[in-house]
Structure 1
């Protein structure tokens, strides 16, 4: 549970310029938004750092800009994993891929591995063709490494899709309406685990795969009751998860910490009006946070939550 401090602990526990040992298992929300353009919430993207590995899960709008704020070059990313092929989860991929070969941005000299659902290999092939003039010109000038400009793409199915250096990543099917297949991910390392829901409605398969996770990163959606185009809003809400439904999931799973990302607000509702935490707490009494861009989590026996320019520790 949280240390017994009021919810204003963010301001109370602000720390700056403190050097500390890097976490072996760290998660950063690079983007917590949805297709709506927002300078506060960039497109849905999650960075997972385990040891020396840097893995990115979905690559939404502005992912490279957020990486730059962490002083991470796009060329440093080892692999990319896609939950599904909705544009808001992958429009940032060409930027990550192509920027990563530039000398001042990492100068990737190895193939960039991309794992996604059925259709990912085909998409990667078309991207290489679409940018071939740019790539060939840079290779001819000697400014980029030819292998760094290539994508090694895989179409995965449900099950264990990554097992290297003690890191295990399992893909599991979720329910995002007509967008099929759509997956979530569970990442396990040295007895600790996180789960990324992907885009989904309330889903039993997600619940099965969420058992005993330290950190559950889940999407959420809310809408105004007075919104125009109610049919469109009902359709969108039907393929996402309300705070109450998420509360039921958290209640059954009991993660050490749950955090919202991919925050979908429809019909002009504000975050304050949506009251995501309040509505969740009607169902679930455990620890829940609304994610922010660049919020990070250090996973261990304790979970340390780092806000931009702030550090908050909680003992679990």
Structure 2
């Protein structure tokens, strides 16, 4: 046995022990329910508490990931979910904080240890421009891909992309799980920008994506079991001191904007994610400003929070 092969085998065995040592994979949600896990509830701000925006939806034996913020692979590993077992991946728009975890998820998911082991093309859905993005990633990492195919014999299919880019409408419909994309409003230059509605067994989950107040989000979320909505809180002193925060505020919902959506849509549960607490802003400020307009069920999301959507909606740690 060559030294190189011996080292590779030992490293692979170590990785298997580490991944297995975290425990068995979590069970699927109960029949006829969906489970939504907030993998990352943050913004571009580098934060150890709130990783980049990403959401996992499990239903009908399928695992769907929406957006790929910083640290998405770490959160999935914490849940003991091998990256190769994800059935479909969805992108809302092309801002980097929703994309910077994609190369990691794609490349690491191809590796042979149990945390990866993707053997089929990575199915990814989203707005026009997705083909260009995935081609660019493949070109950028071509040398790594060539080396691993020759050196580790990783299957070529597992590093390919299966791209589905398209206009708003039904993007995915498999095994009783339907995903519909719709336009939101992330500012006039951030086009296209999508939200997603996920439906299964008579239940619905709506992810607003990055948006300001938007009537289409209200329409899609009206009567939904769960609405996950972005929000940003920017104290007045920051707006005066740093002009860049004006641009942030012009592209994302304030607590009042989001509260207006909640009040008009009447979801069974409203949850905040992509939470921008800028400067000295606190969660209490976010809630207080929301409650001036909306008095319904409300949760401020945290990384790895799990929401079970079924006959009853349950919120708690995964």
TM-score normalised by length of structure 2: 0.87
Q: Offset of 1:73 from its aligned partner?
A: 1.4
Secondary structure in 2 matching 1:248: helix
In structure 2, the partner of 1:101 is: 110
Gaps of at least 5 residues in structure 1 are 1-18, 309-316
Alignment of 1:1-316 (within 5 A): 22-23=29-30, 24-104=33-113, 105-177=115-187, 178-227=189-238, 228-266=240-278, 268-272=279-283, 275-307=285-317
Paired residues of 2:88 and 2:123 also in contact (CA < 8 A): yes
**Aligned partners of 2:301, 2:163: CA distance in 1, in Å?**
30
Checking the alignment, whether the CA contact within 8 Å between 2:60 and 2:175 is kept in structure 1 is no
Secondary structure class of the residue paired with 1:102: coil
- Partner Cα separation in structure 1 for residue 259 and residue 156 of structure 2: 48
Give, in whole Å, the separation in 1 of the partners of 2:154 and 2:202: 40
Matched-pair contact (CA < 8 Å) for 1:102–1:143: no
Q: How many angstroms apart in 2 are the aligned matches of 1:131 and 1:223?
A: 38
Deviates more, 1:78-87 or 1:142-151: 142-151
**Counterpart-to-counterpart distance in 1, 2:64 and 2:122:** 11
Distance 1:20 1:122 in 2: 36
Q: What is the distance in 1 between the residues matched to 2:27 and 2:97?
A: 35
Q: How many residues align?
A: 288
Q: 1: CA distance between counterparts of 2:123 and 2:286? A: 36
SS in 2 for 1:179: coil
Contact 1:75 1:99 in 2 (8 A): no
Offset from partner CA, 1:63-90 (integer Å, 9 cap, x none) = 0000111011111111110000000001
Query: CA RMSD of the aligned region, Å?
Result: 1.5
Decide whether the 8 Å contact of 1:247 with 1:283 is kept in 2.
yes
Say whether the 8 Å CA contact 2:227–2:269 is kept in structure 1. Answer: yes
| Deviations 1:210-237, CA, capped at 9 Å, x for gaps | 1220000000011111115443222210
Q: Structure 2 vs 1, CA of residues 211 and 119 (structure 1 numbering), >3 Å: closer, same or farther?
A: same
* Rounded Cα–Cα distance in structure 2 between residues aligned with 1:229 and 1:79: 42
Name the residue aligned to 2:13: none
**SS at 1:103 equivalent:** coil
> Is 2:67–2:91's contact at 8 Å kept on the other side of the alignment?
yes
- Describe the shift of the 1:21–1:125 C-alpha distance in structure 2 as closer, same or farther (beyond 3 A): closer
**Structure 2 unaligned residues grouped into runs of 5+:** 1-25
Q: Which moved more, 1:31-40 or 1:97-106?
A: 97-106
Moved over 4 A (4+): none
